[in-house]
Structure 1
Amino acid sequence: MKKVLSTWFQRYLSQPEAIILLIVFIVAIVAFKTIGGVLAPIIVGIILAYLLFGMVKKLQQWRFPHLLAVSVVFTLFVSLVLLLFLYLLPLLWEEMASLISDIPTAFNRGQIWLFSLHDQFPDLISVNQIHQVMMYVATYLANFGKEFVTFSLTSLFGVVTVIVYLVLVPLLVFFFLRDGKIIIKWLMQFLPEKREVLEKVWHELYKKISSYIRGKIIEVVLVALITVIAFWILGLRYAVLLGALVGLSVVIPYIGVAVVTVPIVIVGLIQWGWSEHFFYLMLVYTIISIFDANVLVPILFAEVMNLHPLAIILAVLLFGSLFGFWGVFFAIPLMALVNVVIEAWPKEN
C-alpha cells in the first residue's frame, strides 16, 4: 500500500505546478465556503466587468482613449441597471402581488374543477379524496402565507446589505474595467516563471467560462422574451412573471425546466381548465423548451457542452451544495474546468 501511494504521489504531485494547482483549488474552495458572502460582490463585479470589456476594446479600436471608453461603457451599464429596477422589477412585483391576491379565487375554482371531475368520473375520484386534497392545499397555503410574511419581515434586515451591494458592485465594475490589466499583471508576479500548465488551464477556463456566461445571458433573455410574447398572445395571466421564470429556469439545466413547469400548469388549469386553450399553452411551452434545448443550447454552448447529461446533473448537485446559487449557475463550466485540469495535470511518465 505504501509503495502504491508513493508511486501515485511521484506521478501526480512531484512537480511544482501540480502542487500550485492543488493549493489554488483548496484555497478557492475554503474561501468560497468561509467568506463566500464577502466575495460575492467581487465575483459579480469581475463577471460584469468581463462582459463589458469587449465593448471597451471596441471603442478603443475606434480611437477612444481608455478612460473615455470605460466611462462610456460604464454609463450605459448603469443606465441599463436603472431601467431594469425602474420598469421591469415593478412590473414583476405587480404581477406577483396580483397572483397572491388571486389565490383564494384560484382555490375556489380548483375546488369546483375537482368536483366536476367527480361528476364525470365518480368511480375514480371520491368526494372524500377531494376533501383531503383541498384540506392539504389549504394547509399548504396557510403555511406558505406565514413563511411569506416571515420572509418579508426578515428581508427588511437585508435591505441595507442590498443597498450596499447596489453601490459597491458598480464601483467594482468601474475599477475592474479601468485597472483590470494592472491587477492581472500584479497577480502574475506571485506565480512561478515556469507555468505552462497553469497558463493552459487558465486559457481553457477563461474561454469556457466566458463563452458560458455570455451564452447563458443571451439564452435567458431570448427564452424569457419569446415565452412572454407567446403567453401574452395566448392570453395567459401573469405572462410576464411566468415568462421571466421560464427564462431564469434555463440557469439550472434540466431541473429548472421541471420546477417551472408546475406553476405554468397550475395557472393554465385554473384559468382554462381541461380546454383547448390549455392544450395550446402546453404545446407552445413544449415547443419553446425543445427550441431552447435543440437550437439555442448547441449554438450558444458548443465549446462547453461536450458533457454527458448525467455529468451535468451531478455537477449541478455537487457545486450547488458547495457554493449555493453560484455553484448552480457555473456548474457546467466548473465541470468542464475539472475535465481540463485532469487532462492538463502535470505528471511523471
Structure 2
Amino acid sequence: MQFTPPQKTFAAWSLIAALLACVLWLLAPVLTPFVVAAVLAYALTPMVDWLDDLGRGRIPRMLAVIVVELVFIVAVLAVLLLMVPIVAKELPLLREQLPVLMDSVSTTLKPWLAQFGIHVALDVASIKSFVLTHLNGNVEDVVGSLLASLKLGGSVAFSLIGNAILIPVALFYLLMDWDRLVGQVRDLIPPRLRGSTDSFMAEADSVLGQYLRGQLLVMLILAVFYSVGLALFGLDLALPIGIFTGLAIFVPYLGFGIGLVLAALAGLLEFSAASGLGYTVIMVAVVYGAGQVVESLFLTPRLVGERIGLHPLAVIFALLAFGQLFGFVGVLIALPVSAVLLVAIRRVRTGYLASGLYQG
C-alpha cells in the first residue's frame, strides 16, 4: 500500500506527538517547573517584546526581562499576601470562639450520631486545652512547630522550595532566549513545510491568546462574584477571601478549595456565636456552590471554550483527561494544549475533505 505525501506527513507528526506525550507522562514530576516556566514565558514574552520595542533598542533585553518578571512575581505575592489580613483577623477570633464552637459541635454531633447507633466519647476539655495552648504560644513556638512539620514532610517541602527557586530562574532564561529557541525549532522543520507550519503556529498563537484573555476575564468576574456574595452574607473578610478565591481559580480545584476553606473558617468564627453553625453552612453552600456551577457550566465553557472554539463538553473532558494522565501539570496545560490540538484537527479535517479519500 502506497502512502501519499500528506499521509506520510500526518503519520510522522502523529508519531512525534505520541512520543512527546509519552515523555511528558514519564517525566511529569521533573518537568513540572520547566513546563510552568515555559507557559509563563509564552504568556509574558509579548510584554518583554513591547518594552523592548518601546525602548527602541536603547533598553537591554535583560532589563526588560527583569522588569516583567519582577512585576509578575510581585503580582503573585500580592495575591498570596491577601491571606495576611485573613490570618491576622481569624487567629484572635479563633482563640475567643474555639471553646464555644467546640462545645456547640460536641452537643450537636453526639445526639445526631446517637440516632445511628454511633456513640462517640469526645474529651472536649482536653482538646480545647491542647489547641489553645498552641494558639496562645509565641511566634517562636509556632515557627518551631512549623519547622518540625516540614521535617516530617521533607520531600514535599524540598519540592516546593525547589520549584519556587527553579521556576523564576527557568523563566528568566526562557524570556531571554525565547525568540532564539523558537527560531531554532523552526530551523528543524524542512523548508517545504515551513509555510504550512508558520500558518499553523500563527493560528495556534491566536487561539492561545484568546484563551489567556478569556481565562483572565473569568478570574476577574469570579473575584467580584465571590467578594459580593460573601459581603451580602455580612462576612467581614469578604473582600480578601473573595478576591483570593477568584484569582486562584487559575489553578483548577486547588484555588477554589482553599477559598472555600477560608470562607468556612471565617464564617464559623464570626457567626457561630450569634447565628450558629447553620448560617455559615448556608453561606458557603450558596456562594461557593453557585460560583462553582457558574464557573464550570457557563464562564469557562463560554468565555474560554467558545473563544478557542472548544465545545463546553470538550472543555470538561479535557480538564478531566489531562488531569488523569499528567496530574496537576495536566490540569494546568489542558486547555492550552487542547486549543493547539483543535487547530491541528481542523487542518487535518480540511485536508481530508479536500483529498481523494473523501471525494472518491
Query: TM-score surpassing 0.5?
Result: yes
Equivalent of residue 325 in structure 1, options 325, 328, 332: 328
Tell me how far apart the structure 1 counterparts of residues 288 and 161 of structure 2 sit (CA, whole Å): 36
Aligned match of 1:71? 66
Aligned match of 1:178? 176
Tell me how far apart the structure 2 counterparts of residues 159 and 128 of structure 1 sit (CA, whole Å): 43
**Percentage identity across aligned positions?**
20
Residues 1:169 and 2:161 are matched in the alignment: no
Aligned match of 2:307? 303
Give the stretch that moved more between structures: 316-325 or 327-336.
Answer: 327-336
Equivalent of residue 60 in structure 1, options 38, 52, 57: 52
Instruction: Give a deviation string over 1:75-122, Cα, whole Å, max 9, x none.
Output: 32343345456x34555666897899878865543454468xx8xxxx
Secondary structure (helix, strand or coil) at the match of 2:191 reads coil
Whether the 8 Å contact between 1:49 and 1:173 is mirrored in structure 2 is: yes
Q: Return the letter of the residue paired with 1:129.
A: F
CA gap of 1:75–1:197, structure 2 versus 1, over 3 A, is: same
Q: Which runs of 5+ in 2 are unaligned?
A: 125-145
CA gap of 1:273–1:38, structure 2 versus 1, over 3 A, is: same
Tell me how far apart the structure 1 counterparts of residues 152 and 212 of structure 2 sit (CA, whole Å): 31
Tell me how far apart the structure 2 counterparts of residues 258 and 164 of structure 1 sit (CA, whole Å): 24
Tell me how far apart the structure 1 counterparts of residues 217 and 92 of structure 2 sit (CA, whole Å): 29
Whether the 8 Å contact between 2:319 and 2:335 is mirrored in structure 1 is: yes
Number of residue-to-residue matches in the alignment: 321
Deviation for aligned residue 1:264: 6.2
Aligned match of 2:143? none
Deviation for aligned residue 1:246: 5.9
Equivalent of residue 22 in structure 1, options 4, 9, 14: 14
Q: Return the letter of the residue paired with 2:74.
A: S
Aligned match of 2:136? none
Aligned match of 2:129? none
Aligned pairs for 1:79-158 within 5 A: 79-84=74-79, 87-88=81-82, 90=84, 106=101, 108-113=103-108, 127-129=114-116, 131=118, 152-158=150-156
Secondary structure (helix, strand or coil) at the match of 1:212 reads helix
CA gap of 1:276–1:30, structure 2 versus 1, over 3 A, is: closer
Secondary structure (helix, strand or coil) at the match of 1:194 reads helix
Tell me how far apart the structure 2 counterparts of residues 149 and 61 of structure 1 sit (CA, whole Å): 47
Could you list the runs of 4 or more consecutive aligned residues of structure 1 that deviate by over 6 angstroms after TM superposition? 92-104, 148-151, 255-267, 274-278
Equivalent of residue 38 in structure 1, options 6, 30, 39: 30
Aligned match of 1:47? 39
Aligned match of 1:216? 215
Tell me how far apart the structure 2 counterparts of residues 301 and 98 of structure 1 sit (CA, whole Å): 44
Give the stretch that moved more between structures: 199-208 or 33-42.
Answer: 199-208
Deviation for aligned residue 1:307: 0.8
Instruction: Give a deviation string over 1:147-181, Cα, whole Å, max 9, x none.
Output: x9998544333433333333322222222222211
User: RMSD of the alignment, in Å?
Assistant: 4.6
Whether the 8 Å contact between 1:216 and 1:251 is mirrored in structure 2 is: no
Which structure has more relative contact order (CA 8 Å, sep 6+)? It is: 1
Whether the 8 Å contact between 1:236 and 1:268 is mirrored in structure 2 is: yes
Q: Which runs of 5+ in 1 are unaligned?
A: 1-5, 119-124, 139-147
Deviation for aligned residue 1:28: 1.7
Secondary structure (helix, strand or coil) at the match of 2:169 reads helix
Q: TM-score, normalised by structure 2?
A: 0.67
Q: Return the letter of the residue paired with 1:33.
A: W
Q: Return the letter of the residue paired with 1:70.
A: V
Tell me how far apart the structure 1 counterparts of residues 71 and 114 of structure 2 sit (CA, whole Å): 60
Aligned match of 1:3? none
Secondary structure (helix, strand or coil) at the match of 2:307 reads coil
Deviation for aligned residue 1:221: 4.9
